[in-house]
Amino acid sequence: MKPLEGIRILDFSRVLAGPMATQILAELGAEVTKIERPGTGDESRLFEPRLPGGESAYFFAFNRAKRSMTLNLKSPEGQEIAARLAEGHDVVVENFLPGEMDRFNLGYDTLSGRNPGLIYVSNTGFGQTGPYRLRNGYDTIFQALSGIMHLTGHPDSPPAKTGIPVSDMTSGLWIAIAILTGLVGRARTGKGCHVDLSMMDVQTSLLALAAARLFALDEDVGRSGTQHPGRVPSAAFQCADGSWLHISGSDQHWGDICVVLELDDLAADAALQKNAARVAARERVMARLRQAIVSRDRAPLAAALRGRGVPAGEVNTVREILNDPHSAARGAVGTFDHATEGTVRALRTPLRFAGYDDPAIGCPPTLGGDTAAVLSEELDMPAETIARLRNEGVI
């Protein structure tokens, strides 16, 4: 048994944040039915890169363990089918612009009238209220507007985006949190709820440390590369073999760092024993560390530092970390079997449960592959009606 078995989710979301959230819950045991547009489906089915059989690797990354049903939400009959399905589900997730689901007669007020216990999550770029509510946006737009892009990169370089779509992915995590919170609340009160989840709000919430600095010092922090603005040393250093090693030490590590790097004079300098003093002397200290590290190869240096308890981590490529023995021991990568792509590798959920079955990697659905089964099993719809709906472009 998986933790979320018995929870049913009707997923109208597309591309990344919503699909990521529902995939997390699907692999934890929830039954997720993905509603897609007839003919084209989720836009991400068309995204690059492609697997050898032509399927989108992007779509595969966020839509596993779900069923796919095609439904034309602009059709009155399609709208009624969606509303009837929502009556039998615990959760609805959607990421249309504010008001669009109401125009489909599928807004929260309508669906909760038919299912009072419904948890309804509206994931939009800027929320249901505020002057920006009707703006479109993508991950990098939210990184820019929220200040994250201003904080990312080196001081002497232009603003940079993060290496992953952090706006989408952190919003996906918050959607999952919202759903689980709504379900716990319903278990206590018997009532459902509408969650207004703004991706812009999520990104602004990530500024906790930068905001704390602004509130405390009235300082609008800028880019610091790999360095920590409040700790020395905490940065990535280039090694003799061309690779990079990140070292992050506190006061208790300073002496050991100096021993490994043979910086006896810095170790003996009483003024540098406390982090605040090292931060004040950042340029001088960092210059000495870089000079000592650039002549050392990464692997033996990392081993020497960790041997003395100093936190040090190689700056891995994606290939390196996915082939790392610790990743293998933790089962980070698994496989699923697909009808046209064969055996496909994918990342597993990071959750490991005692007392429940381990979450398994599910297979992504084919476009509309479960439409007939959903209509037949859940709405008791006869085959001739399903055929008519298909011919009329409703499904």
Angle in degrees, 0-180, between the axes of helices 76-87 and 371-379, rounded to the nearest 10:
60
> What H or E segment, with its residue span, contains residue 297?
none
**Order of strands, sheet of 244-248, starting from the edge strand that comes earlier in the sequence:** 234-238, 244-248, 312-314
**68, β-bridge pairs:** 34
Q: Which amino acid makes up residue 140?
A: T
Q: How far apart are CA 124 and CA 102, in angstroms?
A: 14
168 is annotated as an active-site residue: yes
Per the CB < 8 A criterion, the answer to whether 103 and 131 are in contact is: no
Q: Per the structure block, which two tokens stand in for 303? A: 């081993």
Q: Could you tell me which residues come within 8 angstroms of residue 208 by beta carbon, excluding any fewer than 6 positions away? A: none
> What H or E segment, with its residue span, contains residue 315?
none
The backbone torsions φ and ψ at residue 117, rounded to the nearest 5 degrees and listed phi first, read -90, 10
Task: Select which of 168, 251, 357, 380 is catalytic.
Answer: 168
Beta-strand ranges (E) seen in 152-233 are: 193-198
DSSP string covering 98-125:
TTHHHHTT-SHHHHHHH-TT-EEEEEES
The dihedral built from the CA positions of residue 28, 29, 35 and 36, taken in this order, carries a sign that is positive
Q: Could you tell me which residues come within 8 angstroms of residue 317 by beta carbon, excluding any fewer than 6 positions away? A: none
Catalytically annotated residues:
168
